[in-house]
Structure 1
Amino acid sequence: MDVLIQSEVFDAGAELNRFSQRAAHSGAGAVVSFSGLVRDLADNPLSHMEIEHYPGMTERAIEAIRAEAITRWSLSGALVIHRHGRLAAGDPIMMVATAAPHRVDAFAAAEFLMDYLKSRAPFWKKEVTAQGASWVDSKAEDEAALDRWD
């Protein structure tokens, strides 16, 4: 399964090793990965973040964008892991890995998937601090990043 939506923590190194071993058998010459961590808030320390999603809908939406990346860049494979539930600052939140015959395609596809996850994937994120809780709004720069993929 190459789209994993889970509450459990994942080991990015182990996931990358498994993915790379499969990619090597499929003719890939490049593997690119990115792991995202829950970022603490500089001006208002994060107690934790709560991430919600609709099971089934979220997986289908991410699988569709993963399939688009595979086709668009002729990937040998693509992996997306995203967590939900309660996460603390520094916890791993997501991981993307792409495999392609050439590095340029692997990098581009990974960036495409990360931009999508940041702006369009159906997750709802709430930051909880000592001052209270607030839902995370999309940022203009994240939305603008999607324009390059049109």
Structure 2
Amino acid sequence: MVSFTVNGRRVETQADPAMPLLYLLRDDLALNGAKYGCGVGQCGSCAVLVDGRSTFSCLLPVAALEGREVVTLEGLGAGDKPGAVQAAFIAEQAAQCGYCIPGMIIAVEGLLRQTPSPGEPEIRAALEPHLCRCGTHARILRAALRVTTPPAGAAEPGR
């Protein structure tokens, strides 16, 4: 039995300890924000936060989750009340097909949890392992900058 928290809710599972977290989230917990892209940690569409850090869920076995905190895209906000990063992506119309966007949002959220006021180089580094096949990189970067850059005259980012 492995016990951990997902989006603030305690989860106990007897799933195969070698099963990737991605499958547990999608198949057993009906949390479909994280997407199956490549299955080998090279695209980022499966990213979730684990203890506040962006992590590729296709590579993380259930056995490694004991006592940890997992936050998925669903845990950041909802359609009628998106989180700050989600709202920035909506405002910048960052999605085309949208398949990579959950992982991109998680990457920016994880960066903000580790570095409250990152600059463009840190944002680019956080997004670097994430692939977007549609080519909306400029919009994605603008969305990340929107949420991480303080408005003129403000002291803190717009979180």
Q: Fold match, TM over 0.5?
A: no
Between the two structures, name the one with larger relative contact order (CA 8 Å, sep ≥ 6).
Answer: 1
TM-score, length-scaled by structure 1: 0.30
More strand by share: 1
User: What's the TM-score, normalizing by structure 2?
Assistant: 0.28
